[in-house]
Amino acid sequence: MACFKPQLEVNLDASKSTSAVSLLRRNNVIAFGKKTLFGGSSLISSSSFGKQVTDRSNFSPMAVAVREKEGNPSTYAESEEPGKGKKVMVIGGDGYCGWATALHLSNKGYQVAIVDSLVRRLFDQQLGVDSLTPIVSIQKRIKRWNQISGKQLDLLIGDICDFDFLAEAFKSFEPEAVVHFGEQRSAPYSMIDRGRAVYTQHNNVIGTLNVLFAIKEFSPECHMVKLGTMGEYGTPNIDIEEGYITIN
């Protein structure tokens, strides 16, 4: 997901967490945890970045859950809703594939919760890049979806490497299925320097392990669909088949 300048509607100061939580509760936002976007780790030191963010006030240092409630029903949603009454958690739902998946499932009648740390937006800002097509904040996207479809999306902002946050997300939403897009998927990004290489391994491996153990502990009947890339399998010395494969 490449993005425009991030615009979070919830601004928190870690040094004023008590008053911030009170403010959040007044605005119908539930504080889930107190760890940073990187789960409290220091795997990526400030010195490892070529371009730094000078103002992180737009990013929440706490993991929070937000639910948009406003909007008018519309005829946009499909009449047939095979997923009605079923809950699906889309991890990485602010991304290019995750957002489209969340909308597709919501349009099919599923109750969808998006889980995302929004760290991909932070990476773009740190590297000084923007999307060719400006992308508004996830909160505004959710509100717009609610306006045109009459359907709601839950938003859980936090890092899946923070198991406390993930546990609260599972206990509060109780998913019946998880679609896992929540990985750092850029090979070039992982090769910029040691910090980013270590972060990629930590995020992708620990994050996925946390998801598996959260399912085991809190939703043992939950299904998981994990998305990945061909890069996971290396470069085999054979043709990569597409479509139907005949095996003799």
Tell me: the pLDDT tens digits for 188-209? 999 999 999 999 999 999 999 9
How many domains does the chain fold into? 1
Is the residue at 9 inside a domain?
A: no
Confidence category of residue 221, pLDDT binned at 50, 70, 90: very high
76-130 pLDDT tens trace: 444 577 888 899 999 999 999 999 999 999 999 999 999 999 999 999 889 998 8
Residue showing tokens 């299925």? 177
105 within domain boundaries: yes
Query: Higher-confidence residue: 172 or 22?
Result: 172
Q: SS3 string of 44-98?
A: CCHHHCCCCCCCCCCCCCCCEEEECCCCCCCCCCCCCCCCCCCEEEEECCCCHHH
Best-predicted range by mean pLDDT (34-43, 61-70, 135-144, 222-231): 135-144
What token pair was written down for 1? 């997901």
Residue 37 lies in a domain: yes
**Geometric angle at alpha carbon 166, from 127 and 101, rounded to 5°:** 65
- In this predicted structure, what is the pLDDT of residue 248? 67
The answer to whether position 239 is within a domain reads: no
181 and 92 Cβ atoms separated by less than 8 Å? yes
Domain with 155 in it: 14-231
**Do residues 181 and 95 make contact, with C-beta atoms less than 8 angstroms apart?**
yes
For residue 227, is it within any domain? yes
For residue 1, is it within any domain? no
Neighbouring-strand partners of residue 236? none
What's the confidence (pLDDT) of residue 153?
Answer: 97
pLDDT at residue 236 in the model: 73
Read off the CATH number of the domain in which 143 is found.
3.40.50.720
> Does residue 193 lie in a domain region?
yes
83: in domain: yes
